[in-house]
Structure 1
Amino acid sequence: MSSKPGNIQACIQKCLGDRFVLIGGAAMQLLGSNRTTNDVDILVSTKENISSLVSLLAGQQGFSNIGGELHFGDGETVTLDILTTAVYTVTLENLGPNLLSVGRIRVPNLDKIAL
C-alpha cells in the first residue's frame, strides 16, 4: 500500500480524536514493520455507536459507505474496519496504560499486552 494508510489515519484522527486505537497491520506499519495490509482496523470503546461512527466518517472527504462497508480513497481503495473487541477479549477500555502514541495516533504496546 502506498501512503493510503497514512492518509486514512490522519482523517480518522481528525474526526475521532482520541476515541480510537489503531490496530492490526496498519498499526504494525506505523511502528516500522514492512507488513502489508489491505485494510485499516481501529478499536473504539464498547460504548460507541458504530452506526453513528460510520455515518460520521462516511460524510468526510475521501470516505464512502459501500454496501455497509466503510472505504477510503479512490482507485486503490482501503477498507476501514471499526471494532469494539479485538483478539477475543481486548477492548479499548482494558488496554488502559498499554498504549503507545506515534504522533497523534495511539497503538497497542504489544510488549505489555498478554493475548
Structure 2
Amino acid sequence: MSLDRSFFESYYATYNSEAPEALAAFYADDVLFTSAQGTSTGKEAILQTYGWLISQFEDRMTPDSILIDGNRAAIEITDVFTARADVADFMGVSLKKGEQLTLKLCGIYTVENQKITEATIYAR
C-alpha cells in the first residue's frame, strides 16, 4: 500500500480525537520524533508527551497542505492549543484557561509499512 493523503488525514483526525490508544497505531515502536522540545525515541515517549498535552490543552492540528514523495511527506500544519486551565509557561507563553495559542508548523514524516518511523516538527 503506497503512502497517500488519506493516511495523514486519518492521522490528524485521530490526533484530534484525544485517543492515545488509537494514535499509537500510527507509530512504529522505535519512532524518532524531533521538535522544539528535543528528540524522543519510541512510541511510548511520544504518547507520554501527547498525554500531557491533552491534559493541559485542547490541541487541534489541521494539515494545511500535504506533499508526498515516496515514503516521505512534508505537511504544513496549523496547531491551535486552547488551555484547559491556567498554564504558566508553554513554549515561553503564559495562558489563562480558555486562551488560545496558534502555531504554524511544518512536519517532515517518514513512513514505512503504514507506520511513522520518523517525524520532525518545526515552526514555519
Shared fold by TM > 0.5? no
Structure number, greater radius of gyration:
2
- Per residue, is there more strand in 1 or in 2? 2
- Per residue, is there more helix in 1 or in 2? 1
- Could you tell me the TM-score, scaled by structure 1's length? 0.30
- Could you tell me the TM-score, scaled by structure 2's length? 0.28
